[in-house]
Amino acid sequence: MNYSLYHKSMRLFIEAPVLKAIWMALVYFCNQHGTCWPPIVARNPEKLSLSSVTGLSPRVISKWLKHLAEIGAIQRQQNKHGSIYRLNFAALQESYAPAPASDSCEVARESTNNSILPLETDAGGEVDRLFLLIGEQRALDLLDVRSAKNVPNTSGSISALVDAFEAHVQIGTNVEALADKCIRQGWSSPNMPRIVPPHRNAAGSVAGRTIGSKAPVKSNRIGQYLARVELHDTEWSREVREYLQTQFPKNVTDLTVVFQQADLGLKILCASPVQCSWLQSADLDIRRVLAAEGKNFDWLTVDVLPAAKR
């Protein structure tokens, strides 16, 4: 590690914490000439990478690396082994010079280059609501992630983000932990929890169920999927599913997937046929992340769950 560059970087104030984390990770990998070549994601789970060091998703890291290149803080070259980065601390320091004193922190944030968060002038009230829900620092980190993904931080979009967190509060979700997960995974917002329309049981009483979904779905189809899953689901299957949900995008492994052990292999049964093609293509990735947790499988198959008996 280049200790001179490390100490100078530690003293430099960068308002965007995600950017500071990525820059410090680059410094960690740097040699004495200010050059490094860390992978964004390592093929070997035991090898360090920008993603493993920062805890950020590859998409978020790529967006901020592009920003660093645009301001001249890094020069990136490609070779057959990957990317080589040459760090330019002077360019970073020039772009993130201390902001002038101001009576309003909001005015200072908008009037300096320290922040690249595009906030609409009428979004202040919604941002305050977000601060109250998940805390100021988490809110700023999440807005950083949204900016890196080119999600507009307008009053309407932030209001929708607040509504999603408030909906999770109503069903008892720990929204601070949920916000942390969004930041780690590079998600612009959590799923909006939806209530499947209630149905009547044999006794005539109404029963309902909460699920996570971004888009409206047909309640009859969801009911059929859940019925299939409940017939085959086990505690081990739920444990594997919850772990993979932290490793892959949230729209991939959801409540309609069942995992079963079969000798030296793993069977994945999907209630929704749409999921089968992605899971088959992600065979090696799924086995790799499970191997990191001590669950080793020689092969993997994907099939559709049989329909529930009526």
| Residue spans of beta strands (DSSP E) within the chain | 35-36, 74-79, 82-87, 193-200, 206-212, 257-262, 265-270, 299-304
Query: Does residue 71 sit in the same domain as residue 127?
Result: no
Sign of CA dihedral 146, 149, 155, 156: negative
**Which one of 41, 64, 95 terminates a domain?**
95
Rounded to whole angstroms, the Cα distance separating 252 from 262 reads: 22
Residues in the chain: 310
* DSSP one-letter string for 107-153: HHHHHSTT----B-TT-HHHHHHHHHHH-HHHHHHHHHHHHHTT--B
How many domains does the chain divide into?
3
Tens-digit pLDDT string for the chain (310 aa): 788 888 888 888 887 888 888 999 999 999 999 999 898 888 787 888 898 888 888 888 888 899 999 999 999 888 777 789 999 999 998 887 654 433 333 333 333 333 444 444 455 677 888 888 888 888 888 887 777 777 777 887 888 888 888 888 877 788 888 888 888 777 788 876 654 444 444 444 444 444 444 444 444 555 666 666 777 778 888 888 877 777 765 444 455 778 888 878 888 888 766 667 767 777 788 888 888 888 888 888 888 877 644 4
Q: By residue range, what is the domain housing residue 91?
A: 3-95
- Under DSSP, the state recorded for 271 is S
pLDDT digits (tens, 9 = 90+) for 38-95: 988 887 878 888 988 888 888 888 888 999 999 999 998 887 777 899 999 999 988 8
Same structural domain, 15 and 85: yes
Clarify whether residues 241 and 284 are in a common domain: yes
Phi and psi at 243, nearest 5°, equal -70, -45
